[in-house]
Amino acid sequence: MTMTPESPLQELPLEPQPNAEPGWGILDILAILLIGYCALVVSAKAGFAMAHSLPRFAGLSIDKVASSPLFVVPVQLIAYLIAFVFARMLITVRAQQDFWEAVKWKFPSVSAVGTYVLVGFVMAIVAQIAGHFLPIPKSLPFDRYFQEPVFIYLMMAFGVLVAPLVEELLFRGLLYPVAVRWLGGLSGTVLTALLFALVHQSQLAHSWAPLLVIFGVGLVLTSVRARADSLAASWIVHVSYNATLFAVLFYATSGFRHLERLAE
């Protein structure tokens, strides 16, 4: 019997194989953050250049302009969009698969969606109750965005439609898998929640009490992402959490008509 040697080409895979999960590392995340920061600086400078030509910002100082959601939200949206486009291209190349598949954007079943919405609702109520027993500062830097009803409606749209998606993609989509790869499940979860809390510290006056609450929220969100193996699941919880907080605010101020109650 004559043996025919196998061609070396037969040993090659027919399709590119994905890298070890995840296909990206901390340097890739830092590159995305750098692009996002540069985009934020450029869009802010362009925004300041155009702001004083608008009646709303005429005669206002840079600090006053920078504290207005009418300025902050569009500037951040532009920076987020640029960072996302870069992240999608980079992660697609590094993971050798579609971006959404790489970050585990697997939408849960209809029955599970209700459960995740409930988790977000309960978490928001618990956070509100905890705030009554913790030394939360009466005034926080974030409060400047809630001085007018139009500001609150804009922040509500941003806080429900944009912020949860951006934060989940960064922390639970990109950072968490890298943290787990290097530290393991428990330590990776804690580190992700800790960084999630720390990124909010400037908005919360660096006060430990509200940061502790955000840390707890981060633990729940990351645990949902890990247990469900789905970034979409933690996103649903995050959206429900933020939406509930704004609903409570809407109720407490009688439809944003009595904002003075926020200082009580």
pLDDT in tens, 110-134: 989 999 999 999 999 999 999 888 8
Per-residue confidence (pLDDT) for residue 20, from 0 to 100? 55
pLDDT in tens, 84-108: 999 999 999 999 999 999 999 999 9
153-157 mean pLDDT:
92
DSSP for 175-225?
Answer: IHHHHHHHH-HHHHHHHHHHHHHHTTTTTTTT-HHHHHHHHHHHHHHHHHH
Domain ranges of the chain: 22-98, 103-264
Phi, psi of 203 (to 5 degrees): -75, -20
Instruction: Provide the sign of the torsion angle of the four alpha carbons 169, 69, 207, 214, taken in this order.
Output: negative
Confidence band of 166 (pLDDT split at 50, 70, 90): very high
pLDDT at 232 exceeding the cut of 80: yes
Confidence band of 9 (pLDDT split at 50, 70, 90): very low
pLDDT at 199 exceeding the cut of 90: yes
Q: Say which DSSP state 18 is in.
A: P
